[in-house]
Structure 1
Amino acid sequence: MDHRDNPVLQAIRERRSIRKFTADPVDKETLKTILEAGQWAPSGKNNQPWRFLVVTRDDPRMEKLAQCTEYSPIVRASAACICVFLDKATMYSEMKDHQGAGACIQNMLLAIHTLGLGAVWLGQIVNDQAAPLAALGLSEAELELEAVIVLGHPNQKGGSKRKPLSELMLEDF
C-alpha cells in the first residue's frame, strides 16, 4: 500500500522550521484555526492543560518577549507568536502533560504549514521561566511556559535532513 499521497503524512514530511518572514500580517481567523489545531491534541485523561496567548507584531509585549531569547531577531520579524503554557492547576502528571503540550505544539506547527505559513518552535526561551512570564504579565505560580511558536508568511525555504530509519531502530522488525 502506497501512503506517500496521504495529505497528513505529506505535511509531516514537508514541514520545516522557518525563521525568516515577510512583513505581511496573519489574520485573526487564521490564528484561530491554528489554535484550534492545538486544542485537538491528545492529553492524559483529556485534561487539556495547555493555555495559549497570541502576541502579534503590533502588541507592545512582542518586544518584551523578544528580549527574553537569544533569537530576538526571529521574534521581531514574525507576524505573531503563540505562547503555549501549561496551567499548573490543571496538570495531573508532569510527564504526560509535557507530552500533551508537545503534541499540541506539533498540531499547530502542522496546521501552520498546511495553511501556507511558516513557523519555528522556540524552546530556548523556556530556560528562564521568570523572564518571559514577567514580560507577558503572567504568573509563574499559575503557568509554565512550554514553547513560543514564532510564525508568519515565510521569506525562506526550509531545509532538513533525517537519519535513516535503520539508525533509529533498536531492532529490526
Structure 2
Amino acid sequence: MLNAIENRRSIRKFSDKEVPDSVIKEIIKSGTKAPSAKNRQPWKFIVVQGDSKQEMISAFEEGFERETTSNYSLLPNSTIHIKGTKYSLEIMKDAPVTIFVINTASKGLFAELSNEERVYEFANTQSVSAAIENILIEATDRGLGTLWICDIFFAYKELHNWLNVEGEMVAAISLGHPLETPKQRPRKKIEDVIEWRK
C-alpha cells in the first residue's frame, strides 16, 4: 500500500475498457474504512456508468452554460478556471466510471450555520475527504487510474439536482484503466511544511 501512495497520480487519459462492478465495489469499500468524526460515516457514493454518463454530461454542460452566460454564477471570480473545467468535463466523458461522493450529513452548501454546526460540517468534510483518499490509493494499488475532480462546482446546481440525493456533493472521481503514466508533480520540501515544537 505504501507503493500505491508513492505511485498515485492524477490520471487524465483513460481507455474505454470497463471496470467490473465487483472491483468498483471493493475500491469503494476501502473508502468506507476511512476514519470519520464520531464515527458518523457521512458518505454515500453514486457510481455513474454506461447510459447514465450522457445524463451526467448533459447536466454538467447545462451548468457550465449557466455559469458562463447567465447572471447567476456561483463562482463569478473563478473564471480563470473555466478552461480547466472544460478539460475536466472531457476527462469525465472518456473515463468509464465516475463516482460522485456525497456528504450525507451536510446541511447544504448555502445553509446558514451556527458556529457549532459549521464545526460539524467541517469535520464531516474531513471524513469524506479521507474516504476519497482511500479510494484513490486502493484504485492505484489495483493498477487503475483516478482523478479527483472539484470542477463539478461550476455545475453544482444542475449536477446536484440530477443526482437527487440528501446531503451535499463533495467531489467526483474519474476511474478507469490509465492510458498515461505521468511523472509526479513537484511537492513542497518536507522541511518547508513541518514546524517542530518540542
TM-score for the superposition, normalised by structure 1 = 0.85
What RMSD over aligned residues (CA atoms) do the two structures have, in Å? 2.2
Q: Structure 1 90/41 Cα, relative in aligned 2: closer, same or farther at 3 Å?
A: farther
Q: Which has the higher helix share?
A: 2
Q: Give the structure 2 partner of residue 12 of structure 1.
A: 5
TM-score for the superposition, normalised by structure 2 = 0.75
Q: Give the structure 2 partner of residue 55 of structure 1.
A: 48
Q: Give the structure 2 partner of residue 167 of structure 1.
A: 192
Distance, in Å, in 2 between the alignment partners of 1:149 and 1:65 is 16
Q: Structure 1 169/112 Cα, relative in aligned 2: closer, same or farther at 3 Å?
A: same
**Residue 181 of structure 2 is aligned with which of 152, 157, 163?**
157
Q: Give the structure 1 partner of residue 75 of structure 2.
A: none
Give the number of the structure whose alpha-carbon radius of gyration is greater: 2
Q: Give the structure 2 partner of residue 85 of structure 1.
A: 102
Question: Is the 1:18–1:119 contact (alpha carbons within 8 Å) kept by the matching residues of 2?
Answer: yes
Question: Is the 2:46–2:101 contact (alpha carbons within 8 Å) kept by the matching residues of 1?
Answer: yes
Moved over 6 A (4+): 89-92
Segments of 5+ residues of structure 1 without an aligned counterpart are 1-7
Q: Give the structure 2 partner of residue 5 of structure 1.
A: none
Shift of residue 162, structure 1, vs aligned partner: 1.3
Equivalent AA in structure 1 for residue 30 of structure 2: A
Distance, in Å, in 2 between the alignment partners of 1:76 and 1:109 is 19
Shift of residue 65, structure 1, vs aligned partner: 4.9
Find the residue that maps to 1:18 and give its secondary structure. coil
Distance, in Å, in 1 between the alignment partners of 2:56 and 2:101 is 15
Question: Deviation per CA, 1:27-53, whole angstroms, max 9, x where unpaired?
Answer: 100110111011111101101011110
Question: Is the 1:42–1:100 contact (alpha carbons within 8 Å) kept by the matching residues of 2?
Answer: yes
Distance, in Å, in 2 between the alignment partners of 1:42 and 1:116 is 24
Residue correspondence of structure 1 range 24-173 to structure 2 within 5 A: 24-59=17-52, 60-67=54-61, 68=63, 69-70=85-86, 71-88=88-105, 93-136=120-163, 138-139=164-165, 142-159=166-183, 160-171=185-196
Find the residue that maps to 2:170 and give its secondary structure. strand
